[in-house]
Chains A and B, each alone.
Chain A
Amino acid sequence: MAMVPDGSTDVMLSARGVVKSYWKGRNEVPVLQGADLDLERGEMLAIMGASGSGKSTLLHILGLLDEPDSGEVHLAGERIDALADRRRDALRNRAFGFIFQFYHLLPELSALENVLVPQWIRHGPISYWSHRARLRREAQDLLERVGLGHRMTHRPAELSGGEMQRAAIARALAADPIVLLADEPTGNLDATSGQGVLDLLRDLNRERGLTMIVVTHDPNIAQQADRVVRLAEGRVEEWSPALA
């Protein structure tokens, strides 16, 4: 079995009947109650929903950060939700790129080092040092691409919110993922920075044909996606601005 599915089908990522509940004390809180979703190759999909509707939970399950209670997740036709930990770790490293609302950069590392982390995880010491120059150059190119060429040696504490999110996008792209999963990527940014980040994601989608899911509760952001779905009562339903 290849480390990352080759994706010969048009549906890149899909969820079938995904159920997930949380326990708060003795009370079971159902979040997803049979969510179905198909994400096509090169598509930019926005998932909307009220707070607590399960948007992030669905994203985490799709990106193998969490496991569904039942249901299936497929990546390029291959079921991935029941894989062994080792394969799940590898897929998170190679197939998915995550962008979080609070950037989640490692504070001890510079912007460049943060972008290199996925490569550090992927490579052993010998492999990394033998490809070090190339990997650093690629990371630098990514930072240049997101407009942080002049901030490479800065630590997260020395960057603005928009810059941190751009660094996080560069990190998500570093492993050359097949699906980008963005959880409220502009939720912590002012309008200008948020639009800049969104434009960047849109450009990446168009230039690279990068398949991506953007979780948001902002209809203005959702409008910029190819397709919008909404999570309501634990299920996914198609949504269009006209319905708003």
Chain B
Amino acid sequence: MYKYLLCWRYLRTRYIALASVISVMLGVATMIVVNSVMAGFAEKMRDRLHGILADVVVESYTLNGFYEWQEVMARIQAVTGDEIVAMAPTMECPGIIDFRVNGEVWNRPVQIIGIQPKERAKTGDFAEFLIDQRGHQIPPSFDVPDELRPTTTASELLKDFPVDRQNPDDLLIEQELQQEMKDQSPDSGAILGYALATIHQKGMEDIFIAPPGTQVKLLFPRFGQTKAEASLLAATTIGYFKSGMSEYDSTHVYMPLEALQQARWLYDYKRGVGAVNTIQIKVKPGVDLAALSSRIQAALDRMKPRFYQVQTWEQKQGPLLGAVAVEQSILNILLFFIIAVAGFGILAIFSMIVVEKTRDIGILKSLGASTAGIRGIFLGYGLLLGAVGSGVGMAGGLLFVHYINEIEQVLSQITGRKVFDDSIYYFNRIPTIIEPMTVIWIVAGALLIAVLASIWPAQRASRLHPVKALRFD
């Protein structure tokens, strides 16, 4: 009985022990906040990575791809049955984009991706990332609207030509000029990565260096029997791809699949089919992706050994996801040192309290308190400090996470600069996820450290000789 009463009384009267409570509290709260924010960011990143890539991706080792993609898709369908929702053939290749900015030609390395936009939209969140200059979502299509077509001789003539709708000759001339205009300007629309088409300056609105209608030229390798050669393809910018993953937003250029196949000389005009080097596969929810990809790999190996590589989206992004996981683990280990430091604080403060309470320990022993009882007082005191510290820390951490965006706004107002610049991550709000198991582990860890830190002082207290303790000055 006395153990509990004295623990509680010491907690209320030994204000120096509050230093331990505060350090445990700060450690626990920090770990909860950091873990929640990191989990939020990681989840957002996974969402976006998964949105860009389909569940399973089949690639050919060669950039030139394969013509028999319809047979490959049929084979995949055959081995997977109704587990597949949609498939989309694509052609990806590295290239260089150039376009004019203030009279100068700017160029950048890019990843050119030829797709069938409607098919590609069925295999992931691709369509959700397509926006216009004002940030409004646009449909997955490469059609070039007339207003974005560049000025040509035909378009100028068409603009000035007075069409008499009653005169069949005028209508015929208008039709011919429209055809001429289409012939004179590129028919291919291109969707550019948002970061490729804009310049971001902190605290300012993004500046579009390739606004809609910008004529871009894409240079990329074409199929050659003897040596690698380059092809050039002109396209009109019709929209932007903004996934929030800077790696993709700064390099991806989406083109119509057929136009890219033809420009790369990978189109069989006789059969009316072009080559692709990637097939994106969307799978039904709940299907084991790793097992499915192994089955597809085995089936395709039988078709053409060592030609296809089948990976789930997680396997394909393994290094990036692995890096995030490692980062989170290392950060957790480092943050746990905060609580470990709090543990040493408890040890130091308890050692001091044991010295200060030496005579009281002697009194308690003279009144019949046992060695285990004295040990129990200090272990219980440590546990109580840990419980109060981690309890308040948990509540504080959870509250902080709950109001993190409001806190960020207040801090931004006080400091006069944005603490969380949403334009860097393209998030409006700081993403957070509270994982109950993580919170439980943090609190349990803090309690364990508090108890471990009090073992040595408690042991010392319990071993004090009652007479020596009573005579202690």
* Partner-B contacts on A (CB < 8 A): 60, 63, 65-66, 85-86, 89-94, 98, 100, 104-109, 117-118, 120-125, 127-128, 171, 175
Q: A89-B370, A108-B9 are in contact. Are A121 and B1 (CB under 8 A)?
A: yes
Proximity string of chain B (345-365) to chain A, C-beta cutoff 8 Å, 1 when within and 0 when not: 000000000000001101111
In the complex, what's the smallest C-beta–C-beta distance from A23 to chain B, in angstroms?
13
Cross-chain pairs A/B with CB under 8 angstroms, 16 sampled? A60-B466, A60-B467, A63-B366, A65-B365, A66-B467, A85-B371, A89-B370, A92-B368, A93-B367, A104-B359, A106-B360, A108-B6, A120-B5, A121-B2, A121-B373, A171-B367
Q: With an 8 A cutoff between CB atoms, is B433 at the interface?
A: no
Chain A neighbourhood of B365, CB < 8 A? 65, 89, 92
Contact present for B9 and A120 (CB under 8 Å):
no
For the complex, count residues of B whose C-beta is within 8 A of A.
25
Chain A neighbourhood of B360, CB < 8 A? 106-107
Q: A65-B466, A104-B470 are in contact. Are A120 and B1 (CB under 8 A)?
A: yes
* Partner-A contacts on B (CB < 8 A): 1-2, 4-6, 9-10, 13, 359-360, 362-371, 373, 465-467, 470
Q: A104-B363, A108-B9, A108-B13 are in contact. Are A121 and B470 (CB under 8 A)?
A: no
In the complex, what's the smallest C-beta–C-beta distance from B366 to chain A, in angstroms?
5
Chain A neighbourhood of B470, CB < 8 A? 65, 100, 104
Nearest 7 CB-CB pairings of A with B: A93-B368, A120-B2, A92-B368, A128-B1, A89-B370, A120-B1, A104-B363
State in angstroms the CA–CA spacing of A203 and B366 once bound together.
Answer: 24
Instruction: Write the chain A residue with the least CB distance to B2.
Output: A120
In the complex, what's the smallest C-beta–C-beta distance from A116 to chain B, in angstroms?
9
Instruction: Write the chain B residue with the least CB distance to A90.
Output: B368
B interface: dominant SS: helix
In the complex, what's the smallest C-beta–C-beta distance from A54 to chain B, in angstroms?
12
Chain A neighbourhood of B4, CB < 8 A? 125
In the complex, what's the smallest C-beta–C-beta distance from B106 to chain A, in angstroms?
76
Contact present for A65 and B366 (CB under 8 Å):
yes
Instruction: Write the chain B residue with the least CB distance to A125.
Output: B1
In the complex, what's the smallest C-beta–C-beta distance from A238 to chain B, in angstroms?
27
In the complex, what's the smallest C-beta–C-beta distance from B383 to chain A, in angstroms?
16
Q: A104-B363, A108-B9 are in contact. Are A123 and B467 (CB under 8 A)?
A: no
Q: A89-B369, A90-B368, A121-B373 are in contact. Are A104 and B2 (CB under 8 A)?
A: no
Q: A65-B466, A65-B467 are in contact. Are A124 and B367 (CB under 8 A)?
A: no
Interface-centre pick from B1, B4, B365 (highest chain A CB count, 10 A): B1
Contact present for A118 and B368 (CB under 8 Å):
yes
Instruction: Write the chain A residue with the least CB distance to B362.
Output: A104
Chain B neighbourhood of A105, CB < 8 A? 363
Task: Please give 7 more A-B residue pairs, beta carbons under 8 A apart, in addition to A65-B366, A98-B366, A171-B367.
Answer: A60-B467, A89-B365, A91-B368, A104-B363, A120-B1, A127-B1, A175-B368
In the complex, what's the smallest C-beta–C-beta distance from B63 to chain A, in angstroms?
76
Chain A neighbourhood of B362, CB < 8 A? 104
Point out the residue from A86, A92, A125, A128 that lies within 8 Å of B366, measured CB to CB: A92
State in angstroms the CA–CA spacing of A237 and B134 once bound together.
Answer: 108
Chain B neighbourhood of A98, CB < 8 A? 366-367
State in angstroms the CA–CA spacing of A92 and B371 once bound together.
Answer: 13
Chain A neighbourhood of B6, CB < 8 A? 108
In the complex, what's the smallest C-beta–C-beta distance from A18 to chain B, in angstroms?
15
State in angstroms the CA–CA spacing of A127 and B1 once bound together.
Answer: 9
Contact present for B1 and A124 (CB under 8 Å):
yes
Instruction: Write the chain B residue with the least CB distance to A60.
Output: B467
State in angstroms the CA–CA spacing of A109 and B9 once bound together.
Answer: 8
In the complex, what's the smallest C-beta–C-beta distance from A131 to chain B, in angstroms?
11
State in angstroms the CA–CA spacing of A182 and B315 once bound together.
Answer: 80
State in angstroms the CA–CA spacing of A89 and B2 once bound together.
Answer: 14
Contact present for B9 and A94 (CB under 8 Å):
no
Chain B neighbourhood of A91, CB < 8 A? 368
State in angstroms the CA–CA spacing of A124 and B466 once bound together.
Answer: 22
State in angstroms the CA–CA spacing of A40 and B365 once bound together.
Answer: 26
Chain B neighbourhood of A106, CB < 8 A? 360, 363-364
Chain B neighbourhood of A128, CB < 8 A? 1
Chain A neighbourhood of B364, CB < 8 A? 106, 117, 121
State in angstroms the CA–CA spacing of A60 and B186 once bound together.
Answer: 107
State in angstroms the CA–CA spacing of A106 and B363 once bound together.
Answer: 8
State in angstroms the CA–CA spacing of A226 and B56 once bound together.
Answer: 100
Point out the residue from A85, A100, A109 that lies within 8 Å of B370, measured CB to CB: A85
Contact present for A86 and B370 (CB under 8 Å):
yes
State in angstroms the CA–CA spacing of A91 and B2 once bound together.
Answer: 17
Chain A neighbourhood of B2, CB < 8 A? 117, 120-121
In the complex, what's the smallest C-beta–C-beta distance from A174 to chain B, in angstroms?
9
State in angstroms the CA–CA spacing of A92 and B9 once bound together.
Answer: 24
